[in-house]
């Protein structure tokens, strides 16, 4: 059974239709990259999967169960889906460690002492061992974004959503964040990324989807979509960004 | 060509020399104009026909010395009333602010209550609330100590000030960017936990300077309780005025208030400036 299946996702903001019937299947352990111009619906799609924006129509099956049912409480579902944002969105009044511990402590009722070893291991793994007691404004953009990833991972999500997580970073800091994604992929994490990093998508993605005007215009293996696009508009987009 | 830097003989650049000259000039202008105004006041006011009478009834040094210790003691009562009102205002205002923010339909009555509450207590003069509660509730014939004007006067201040402080909290809550809530919700936190651990700590910190100003206003408004009984500094000054047929005690009271409020105001300004620096 696929990990995640999207069927006919539709979402409008007022008269502006942002998602126009998206169908997408994500297998367990797959990395799917969403590419496309700004405003093509990538971010909105990720936000609807995490139920931050309620969708107007369509179904989202996580392990075969529809999580987009409006009657469901979104809270326990969000705990199974991690999300990382372009602007990091760390909590500025907490240290890196407190940022990471907040959700496990409040939701799973775990204690600091109990959590410390596994969280320290996560910081260590992503090169942040000496940054646990720092506040977000004492960290570089790349470090903040890695802390944000650790924060999402601490809830042990089954699937991770990344919303243009390198777009706000200085070019020399992009690499360290992409390394984290490579490590997660090696670990078998199921991931969906909205990204402008075409080089990374070509090298690491299992599937690339080109979005335009709220539709998936073309999808397939990166060597097909990125190197030999079928659609004229995919080609036009790629010639602008590559 | 010779050495082509703009260094001058003094070792300063042209720009630094220029800035130093400008600074000296403005200090000189500010200083001399201040002295001129002060001199004019000192020389001109005594020329007014009633000055001798005003001086005798408002600025009598002997009366000042005589009444100062008692008034200072009476001021301690103001400080005490302030000290127990301030934390209760901080808590009650937070409750009101949170009530105004609840979205659940089942809790709509709470929201309605908070809206009416802030509308009513911000719309009525403080002195009226002090009168209505301070005279009205003891009028129910409650037994001691429940007929004390201290309790009901303080309650009037707490109710009124909480309405203003609640609005300040609310502006703080609304100033926290939606992305912070989204980040918390995406981790699976409930709305209540998001408010408690993510939004409120940031919001309360952000409105500390604004609340400092409310505290300063509260310290002054404690004097309004004098109208319903407690012999605090304003009422004590009135007693002295009648006793000595002299207004100097009011000036003493003003001086004592200023000794507290001016440093507090400067401190609040300092906090605001610090916050602005951090945000820019």
Flag if A83 and B201 touch (Cβ within 8 Å).
no
Give pLDDT, residue B170: 94
Number of domains composing chain B: 2
Share of chain B above pLDDT 90, in %: 66
Contacts of A50 in chain B (CB under 8 A): 186
pLDDT at A184 over 60: yes
Give pLDDT, residue A3: 95
Q: What is the mean pLDDT of residues B80-107?
A: 92
Look at residue B1 and tell me if it is in a domain: no
Residues B33, B92 within the same domain: no
Q: What is the mean pLDDT of residues B125-138?
A: 90
pLDDT at B280 over 60: no
Q: Which of B156, B154, B178, B158 is nearest to B166 (CA)?
A: B158
DSSP chain A: --SEEEEEEEEEETTEEEEEEEEEEE-TT-EEEEE--TTSSHHHHHHHHTTSS--SEEEEEETTEE---TTS-HHHHHTTEEEE-TT----TTS-HHHHHHHHHHHHH---HHHHHHHHHHHHHHTT-GGGTT--GGGS-HHHHHHHHHHHHHTT--SEEEEESTTTTS-HHHHHHHHHHHHHHHHTT-EEEEE---HHHHHHH-SEEEEEETTEEEEEE-HIIIIIS-SSHHHHHHHHHH-
Residues B217, B270 within the same domain: yes
Q: Is the dihedral of CA B152, B154, B157, B159 positive or negative?
A: negative
Range of the domain at B79: 64-279
A-facing residues of B in 184-243 (CB < 8 A) are 184-190, 193, 197-198, 201-202, 205
Contacts of A90 in chain B (CB under 8 A): 183
Residues B152, B256 within the same domain: yes
Give pLDDT, residue A174: 92
Give pLDDT, residue A140: 93
Instruction: Compute the distance between CA of residue A56 and CA of residue A39 in angstroms, rounded to an integer.
Output: 18
pLDDT tens digits along A3-29: 999 999 999 998 899 999 999 999 999
Give pLDDT, residue B3: 53
Give pLDDT, residue B145: 81
pLDDT tens digits along A144-154: 999 999 999 99
Q: What is the mean pLDDT of residues B197-205?
A: 94
Flag if A52 and B185 touch (Cβ within 8 Å).
yes
Residues B115, B157 within the same domain: yes
Look at residue B3 and tell me if it is in a domain: no
Q: Does A82 touch chain B (CB under 8 A)?
A: yes
Residues B23, B162 within the same domain: no
Flag if B197 and A81 touch (Cβ within 8 Å).
no
Residues B43, B93 within the same domain: no
More confident residue, B9 or A188: A188
Give pLDDT, residue B1: 47
- To the nearest whole number, what is the mean pLDDT of chain B? 90
Give pLDDT, residue B279: 60
Residues B41, B146 within the same domain: no
Instruction: Compute the distance between CA of residue B157 and CA of residue B85 in angstroms, rounded to an integer.
Output: 7
Residues B24, B151 within the same domain: no
Q: Does A75 touch chain B (CB under 8 A)?
A: yes
Query: Which tokens is B82 given?
Result: 């302030």
pLDDT at B278 over 80: no
Residues B241, B147 within the same domain: yes
CA distances from A56 to A14, A20, B105 (A): 11, 10, 22
Residues B223, B139 within the same domain: yes
pLDDT tens digits along A68-91: 998 999 999 999 999 999 999 999
Instruction: Compute the distance between CA of residue B131 and CA of residue A227 in angstroms, rounded to an integer.
Output: 81
For B118, which DSSP code? Answer: H
pLDDT tens digits along B143-155: 878 878 888 999 9
Please state the ipTM of this predicted complex. Answer: 0.92
Share of chain B above pLDDT 70, in %: 96
Query: Which tokens is A208 given?
Result: 């690339």
Residues B43, B107 within the same domain: no
Give pLDDT, residue B274: 84
Residues B84, B211 within the same domain: yes
Contact (CB, 8 A) for A46 and A159: no
Look at residue B52 and tell me if it is in a domain: no
Give pLDDT, residue B247: 93
Q: Does A89 touch chain B (CB under 8 A)?
A: yes
């Amino acid at each position: 059974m696929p990990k995640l299946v999207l069927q006919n996702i539709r979402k409008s903001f007022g008269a502006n239709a942002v998602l126009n019937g998206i169908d997408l299947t994500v297998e367990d352990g797959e990395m799917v990259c969403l590419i496309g111009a700004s405003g093509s619906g990538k971010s909105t799609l990720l936000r609807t999967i995490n139920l931050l924006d309620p969708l107007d129509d369509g179904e989202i099956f996580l392990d075969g169960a529809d999580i987009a049912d409006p009657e469901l409480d979104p809270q326990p579902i969000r705990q199974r889906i991690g999300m990382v944002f372009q602007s990091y969105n760390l909590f500025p009044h907490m240290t890196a460690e407190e940022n990471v511990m907040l959700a496990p402590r409040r939701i799973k009722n775990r204690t600091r002492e109990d959590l410390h070893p596994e969280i320290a291991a996560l910081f260590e793994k992503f090169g942040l061992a000496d940054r646990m007691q720092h506040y977000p404004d004492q960290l570089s953009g790349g470090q903040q974004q890695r802390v944000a990833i650790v924060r999402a991972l601490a809830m042990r999500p089954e699937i991770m959503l990344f919303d243009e997580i390198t777009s706000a970073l200085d070019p020399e800091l992009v690499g360290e964040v992409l390394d984290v994604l490579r490590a997660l992929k090696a670990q078998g994490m199921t991931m969906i990324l909205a990204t402008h990093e075409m080089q990374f998508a070509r090298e690491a993605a299992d599937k690339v989807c080109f979005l335009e005007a709220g539709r998936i215009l073309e999808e397939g293996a990166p060597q097909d979509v990125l190197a030999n696009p079928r659609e004229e508009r995919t080609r036009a987009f790629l010639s602008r960004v590559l | 060509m010779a050495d082509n830097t703009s260094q001058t003989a003094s070792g300063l650049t042209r720009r630094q020399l220029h800035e130093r000259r400008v600074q000296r000039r403005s200090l000189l202008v500010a200083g001399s104009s201040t002295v001129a105004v002060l001199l004019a006041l000192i020389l001109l006011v005594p020329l007014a026909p009633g000055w001798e009478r005003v001086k005798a009834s408002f600025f009598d040094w002997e009366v000042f010395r005589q009444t100062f210790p008692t008034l200072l003691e009476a001021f301690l009562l103001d400080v005490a009333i302030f000290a127990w009102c301030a934390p209760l205002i901080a808590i009650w205002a937070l409750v009101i602010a949170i009530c105004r923010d609840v979205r659940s339909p089942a809790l709509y009555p709470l929201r309605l209550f908070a809206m009416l509450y802030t509308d009513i207590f911000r719309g009525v003069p403080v002195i009226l609330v002090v009168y209505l509660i301070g005279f009205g509730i003891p009028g129910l014939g409650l037994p001691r100590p429940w007929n004390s004007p201290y309790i009901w006067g303080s309650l009037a201040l707490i109710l009124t000030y909480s309405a203003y402080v609640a609005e300040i909290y609310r502006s703080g809550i609304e100033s926290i960017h939606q992305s912070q809530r989204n980040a918390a919700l995406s981790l699976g936190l409930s709305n209540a936990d998001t408010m408690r651990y993510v939004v409120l700590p940031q919001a309360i910190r952000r409105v500390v300077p604004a609340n400092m100003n409310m505290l300063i206003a509260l310290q002054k408004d404690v004097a309004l309780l004098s109208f319903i009984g407690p012999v605090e500094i304003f009422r004590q000054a009135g007693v002295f005025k009648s006793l000595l047929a002299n207004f100097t005690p009011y000036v003493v009271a003003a001086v004592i208030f200023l000794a507290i409020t001016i440093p507090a105001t400067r401190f609040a300004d300092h906090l605001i400036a610090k916050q602005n620096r951090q945000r820019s």
